[in-house]
Structure 1
Amino acid sequence: MMKKIILIAICFFGVQLQAQEVLFTVGNQTVTAEEFKAVYEKNKGVGNAIDPKTPEEYLDLYVRFKLKIAEAFDQKRDTAAKFVKEFGGYRAQLAKPYLSDAGSEEALIKEAYSRMSQEVRAAHIMFELASSALPSDTLRVYKAMMELRDEIVSGKLSFEDAARSKSADTWSAKQGGDLGYFTAFNMVYPFESGAYDQEIGSISKPIRSQFGYHLIKTIDKRPASGTVRVRQIFFAAGEKAKLAEKQRAERSAQEIYTRLQNGEEFGALVSFSEDRKTKDRGGEMPEFGLNKMMPSFENAAFALEEPGDFSAPIQTNIGWHVIQLIEKKPLPDFESLEKEIKSKVKRDSRSQVGAKKFVNTLKRNYNFTVNERNYRRTVALVDAAKFATGQWEAPSIKTDRVVATYADAELRQSTVLAFWAKNQKPQTTEGVEEYLRLLFNVVSNDNIIAYEDSQLESKYPDFRNLVREYREGILLFDLTQEEVWDKAAKDSVGIYNHYQTIKNDFTWDDRISYKLWVAQNEKDAKRIARWVTKGKTDKLNEFLTSNDALAVAVSEGTAQQKDEEVFQTLWNTAPGVHGPIAFNEGFAVLQTIDYLPAGPKALNEVKGLVIASYQNELEEKWVATLQDKFEVSINESVKEKLFAELAD
């Protein structure tokens, strides 16, 4: 017998619901009122638009969900290595917004938008320098670049000649360092700042990026180009295509261009395009801005001035294009772009600005303090000669002294020594002590961030609820895949039997197997009908491959009358050739090859839908077994107060 749900009525005094009161339990898993309320409120908006649920109905669904989670915990899936790794990765992503400085991020977002209103053209000279270089090496490269800058500023050497002869960026060096126009997020942040923050004609002092040091010359600034919407007609001819194929593509693009010049509509010619992705959308491409397309295509698109203007054939490394302008858009206002910019800031190197400020704030708030005496004792345990060659091993220590303190935590010698041993690199003996201090700063920052990370669930309820959702979502996915999805997909006998019970839910109307030709003029349509009727495939193929081929659209397959617009005009289930008949601006010829009467769809035609239905059946049976296995207890008093809050 299925165990009855136990309704526990307990009288509580007071009007306000305590968030951490237990609403219900499933086995040994507890669900608080706070948890249910958070999940209900989060999903209520979406649910109301699709399938509205009362709190009572949603509680029933959530109990069913928690039954599955209880089973996952009972199987100890939360301790499996695969789960621990996957969940750890998701939690790390969720924690990122809580481990950065919000004020710095807001300033960076506003700065980025300001820069997006301009495009800057700049040239540079780069000296390579590893991002992990010691301060002494950094200073050496900096001085060398300053000497080069002095030569350029004094007129002894032009910037362009210096770029060609000395820059480590060999691609831009060939253009005298010129990188063309760019805008915010097109370059690494320090480089972007250097180009934007100086006047036209100015040459920056050395600017550090992860690639090295740069001298940047700002050549020009102009208002943002905004974005464009265009449509295209495309003929494929990649770099490896044969000469005949390239000539065919160019000839086809030129024919399209000529027909446009003669007054034909662009939309009427898109059917000849060989770009399947855009062809079904009338040739329209996704909206794009600066440096998002191949240069020749982008330049041609932005050169178009008025909607409806079209380009001459444009060659790129993938083929030939004829482009028509739909719309030019200026840069949207800040509110429209704020969310997108915020996402880019988080992924961009500029986010390190906020990260550094965040760490410094944590150190102040948690009173981070270094015991310099114990730090020196720790450094004394390092053999610099061995460390410089990567041969040093952290020694065993009798007393593990505290090197730094923060909040209620400590950073001890053993942690620092292990980190140093793990991060050795070849270097001079003289540079070891300097490098050790750099590594100490890194391990200190890592530890204080890790400490803050460990406090997030207790400090932020929203984070706690979100992490729980991800944890349980991963557990449920793997468990349901084994208990329901894989079972249904692999049980061929069960799928067939289930299909037999529901096949009348999936039926075809009358269908035909057909070939269809739509010609632009009636004469060609009549010739096609005659050749098909008499079986003269050679003449038909010769015609379709001739110079007039662009004037005929050909398709074939199996269809219902409702599937295609042309079948509303020309439809006949009798095998044979029908038409031509006027359709839109052309003439259609239909060859009915076979007639397929209405009836249930074959299993292979609806297998996905059948499997989905079979999965639902298996899930219901599975939930029934879980209801037998785990006792569910609902606290009626807490439920009553919670539902009263949800109703307000």
Structure 2
Amino acid sequence: MNNMNSFKHLLFLVLIMAAAGLSAQKDSDVLFTVADKPVTVGEFKYIFGKTNGDESGYNEESVREYLELYERFKLKVARAKAMGLDTITALQNELEGYRRQLADNYLIDRQVTDRLVEELYQRTQKDIEFSHILLKFRGNPSPADTAALFNEAKAIKARLTASNFADEAKKNSQDNFSAPKGGKIGYITAPFPKGMHRLETALYRAKVNEVVGPVQTELGYHLAIKSAERPARGEVEIAHILIRKPEGTKTGSMPIPAQLQSAQKMLNNGDDFAKVAARISEDGKTKDNAGYLGFIGINRYEPAFENAAFGLTKDGQVSEIIESSVGFHLIRRISAKGIQPLDDIRPLLETKVKADGRFEDAKKQMLKDIRVKANVQENKAVFGRYAAELVDSTFLSFRWKPAKTGVTTPLLAVGDDYKVGLDQFQEYLRKNSRQRVSMGRNSNASTVASNLYDTWIDEQLMAYAESRLEVDFPEFAALMREYREGILLFEATKIEVWDKASEDTTGLKQFFAMHRDDYKWEERATVTRYVVRANSGADINEVYAYAADHDMDATLDKFGRANIDASSDEFELNRLSEIGNLTPKAGSRTPVSNDMRKGVATFSKVEALLPARQKELREARGYVIADYQDQLEREWVEELRKQFPVKINKKVLAKLIKS
């Protein structure tokens, strides 16, 4: 009996789960219609997620609020189509132009850039310590030279271990900087210097004490070993006080200078670091700017200096006296900057990957992937016969023109319906005449045609992939729908609302008269901001004292307009606290603020208070037009709801909210 009950319970659960599966919401379900035109759950979820990101879940309030907005959007699009705006050639051309711009970058961004950026970002989370052995290329090596060097590197690797790596590096490495140190480079963080991305990849993928290589870079072949890794240190912003050593003095051979010991005592007694640096430091470039060195990363300074700087745990903390090859230092931490969120540094990383050989390597791999997935077929026999008949004297000159070949067999077939032949290839040769002639200075016609053919094939593969973006990337199809409907909405709204609001001067005046009390100047203050450059010769304290009883022009005349920048603006009184805690009183000043990074000192002053009053139409025109547009748009949407009925599928909406 118990077994039977257990079986019934299990069967009941299976049926419940099956029913849940049958009733699960699909992206193809219709959420609402506008004049019988469907909007699916998938379309709504895409635009909802894109607009709200992770900020809002599918709760009832947020879904209904956005549903209202998207209904209005679709009503305006329906009106645009009813006006025939989607048939206007100029708008169709505009949309095609947008598609070309998006397609040009979309495939590369999705298949190459995004992946490389995310990979590089993950690598920046770690510092790695490594050593290497470099076998250099000499001059412009031939394939035989390259192969011989590769084999030499393989022979060395065969006897390499973690324990003998340093000795082998001293004997074999051609890197004059690191060879005497057993090939040791020290800690470094991705990205490696330009041209070294393959070595970077090998080392970040390697285990500690694993020998990797031979790895080819622009310099030659590398054998390398990762000896340690640690969480990335990031950057630290520092200042220092320096007492130099006599040139040639060995580390540890002289006592700590008395001047620096005196400076340390002053700082321990609470003296200002900037004043102590100005009095004692022997670094002529930084002593008059509070010893400021800026942000430093790893492997920029000597290990002793770097370790002391990164060893400081709090802003304002000063190190013990440390020695470098230059002299003795006291280091003060100003701030520290860890690894920033990916979204914040994505543009910087994109610039770095696109300027690096890793980008071209990844593009080549993408083209190889397209060849495999798309069943690419080349007719090299047709090309071979064509190239063999080319004549150097004509083909390698600007006078060459495509000839009628009568060949209809495709040179390239991709997928089921993308075919290109000799006519298209010859047109490519004609358009690239400068490159064709330039390459012909050192090659014959057949070789030039073959090189250009390879480039043309790559371009055709890209063109094929771009033609399928809507099929292969649903997000691209959604993006194109956004552009298409956005263009229509813009044109319809411009005609029905914006132009009417800006051209209907009578209606605008009537609207302003009815809402005049909505447009007022609150009580305001005229505020002047003074900027004094550290190298100008003007004393900031004297400027500050003089400005207390004098206006901007008098202050500028007193200290020289070439030395001081000053500008005045009006602020509502409730915003004064944002400007250095100014109070709503004429003569109120902020304290002086020193910016060491920019080398300037600033302060602000309230010059006068202005009373509240109503605005005239000319003063509030922009705000009035915007509000008048809002009213016209509300009236327009109400008319559209009558013209294009909206029907919401309440069951689908309920499932969406619960999801």
User: Structure 1-normalised TM-score?
Assistant: 0.57
Query: For residues 137 and 501 of structure 2, what CA distance do their matches in structure 1 show?
Result: 59
Q: 1:471 to 1:568 in 2, by over 3 A?
A: closer
Which amino acid in 2 is paired with 1:109?
E
Match of 2:400 in 1: 392
What is the 5 A alignment of 1:410-421? 410-421=419-430
The yes-or-no answer on 1:379 pairing with 2:371 is: no
Displacement after TM superposition at 1:303 (Å): 8.0
Matched, 1:85 2:97: yes
Deviations along 1:524-559, whole A, 9 cap, x unmatched? 99x9799949x9x999986x79xxx99xx9997655
Are residue 113 (structure 1) and residue 123 (structure 2) matched? yes
Contact 2:236–2:309 (8 Å) recurs in 1: no
- Paired residue for 2:234? 227
Q: What's the CA shift for 1:412?
A: 1.7
SS in 2 for 1:392: coil
| Matched AA of 1:184 | A
What CA distance in whole angstroms lies between the structure 1 residues aligned with 2:486 and 2:446?
48
Taking CA–CA contacts closer than 8 Å with sequence separation of 6 or more, which of the two structures ends up with the larger relative contact order?
1
For residues 170-201 of structure 1, the C-alpha deviation after alignment (integer angstroms, 9 at most, x for no partner) is xxxxxxxxx9997433633x33435786999x
Query: Equivalent residues in 2 for 1:166-565 (5 A)?
Result: 183-185=189-191, 187-188=193-194, 190-194=195-199, 226-228=233-235, 230=237, 263=270, 290=297, 305=312, 307=314, 308-309=316-317, 325-329=333-337, 347=354, 349-409=357-417, 410-423=419-432, 424=436, 425-428=438-441, 430-477=443-490, 480=493, 484=497, 498-511=511-524, 532=549, 561-565=573-577
Q: Give 1:251's aligned residue.
A: none
In the alignment, does 2:619 pair up with 1:614? no
Pair 1:64 & 2:71 matched: no
Q: Deviations over 1:555-595 (max 9, x none)?
A: 9765555443599999787x9x89x9999xxxxxx999765
Given that 2:234 and 2:297 are in contact with CA atoms closer than 8 Å, whether structure 1 keeps it comes out as yes
The one-letter code of the counterpart of 2:72 is: L
Per the TM alignment, residue 34 of structure 1 is displaced from its structure 2 partner at its CA by: 3.8
* Residue correspondences, number: 524
Q: Deviations over 1:273-317 (max 9, x none)?
A: xxxxxxxxxx9x9x9664999xxxx99996894530579xxxxxx
* 1:450 shift after superposition: 2.5
CA contact (8 A) 1:372 1:403 kept: yes
Asked if the contact 1:182/1:290 (under 8 Å) is kept, the reply is no
1:366-387 CA distance string (max 9 Å, x none): 3222223222222234323322
Paired residues of 2:31 and 2:41 also in contact (CA < 8 A): yes
The aligned amino acid for 1:64 is L
**Corresponding letter in the other structure for 2:422:** Q
Identical amino acids, percent of aligned pairs: 18
**1:416–1:443 Cα contact (<8 Å) kept:** yes
Q: Please name the residue that 1:278 is paired with.
A: none
1:639 to 649, 656, 659: 649
Q: Which deviations, in whole Å up to 9, do the C-alpha atoms of 1:19-45 show, x marking residues without a partner?
A: 176953559x76455433533455466
SS in 2 for 1:393: coil
* Aligned residue type for 1:113: R
- Aligned mates of 1:538, 1:78 — CA distance in 2: 58
Find the aligned partners of 1:605 and 1:197 in 2 and give their Cα distance.
Answer: 65
Aligned to 1:19: 28
Unaligned residue ranges in structure 2 (runs of 5+): 1-21, 154-168, 178-184, 240-265, 276-289, 320-330, 531-540, 593-603
Q: 2:73, 2:489 within 8 Å by CA — same for their partners in 1?
A: no
Q: Give the direction of change, closer, same or farther, for the CA distance of 1:640–1:108 in structure 2 (3 Å limit).
A: closer
Following TM superposition, by how much is the alpha carbon of 1:330 offset from its aligned partner in structure 2, in angstroms? 5.5
Output the amino acid matched with 2:401.
E
Q: Secondary structure at the residue paired with 1:325?
A: strand
Quickly say closer, same or farther: Cα 1:68–1:302, change in 2 above 3 A.
farther
Cα separation, partners in 2 of 1:529 and 1:156, compared to 1, 3 Å? closer
**Alpha-carbon distance change, 493 to 184 in structure 1, aligned in 2, over 3 angstroms:** farther
Structure 1 pair 476/144, CA: closer, same or farther in 2 (3 Å)?
A: farther
Q: Could you tell me how far apart the structure 1 residues matched to 2:379 and 2:403 are?
A: 20
CA distance in 1, matches of 2:513, 2:198: 67
Deviation of 1:113 after TM superposition, in Å, equals: 0.3
CA–CA separation in structure 1 for the residues paired with 2:345 and 2:139: 35
CA contact (8 A) 1:388 1:429 kept: no
> Offset at 1:395?
0.8
The runs of 5 or more residues in structure 1 that have no matched partner are 1-13, 130-136, 162-178, 233-258, 269-282, 312-322, 518-523, 584-589
- Deviation digits for residues 380-407 of structure 1, max 9, x if unmatched? 3432332223432221122322223332
From the superposition, tell whether residues 216 and 141 of structure 1 become closer, same or farther in structure 2 (CA, over 3 Å): same
Q: Which amino acid aligns with 2:123?
A: Y
Partners of 1:572 and 1:336 in 2: CA distance: 40
The alignment partner of 2:335 has SS state of strand
Q: Which amino acid aligns with 1:191?
A: M
The 2-side partners of 1:411 and 1:159 are apart by: 50
Q: What pairs up with 1:21-40 in 2 under 5 angstroms?
A: 23-25=32-34, 31-32=39-40, 34-40=42-48
Deviations 1:338-365 (A, max 9, x none): 9789856864542333332332233223
Give the TM-score normalised by the residue count of structure 2: 0.57
C-alpha displacement of 1:613: 1.9
Tell me the CA shift for residue 89 of structure 1.
Answer: 0.8
DSSP-derived class of the 2:196 partner: helix
Spell out, residue by residue over 1:490-534, the C-alpha distance to the aligned partner (whole angstroms, 9 max, x if none): 8777666544443433444444558899xxxxxx99x9799949x
Amino acid at match of 1:228: E
Aligned in 2, Cα 1:144/1:229: closer, same or farther, shift over 3 Å?
same
CA distance in 2, matches of 1:530, 1:431: 78
Asked if the contact 2:103–2:466 (Cα under 8 Å) also holds between the matched residues in 1, the reply is: no
Contact 1:127–1:145 (8 Å) recurs in 2: no
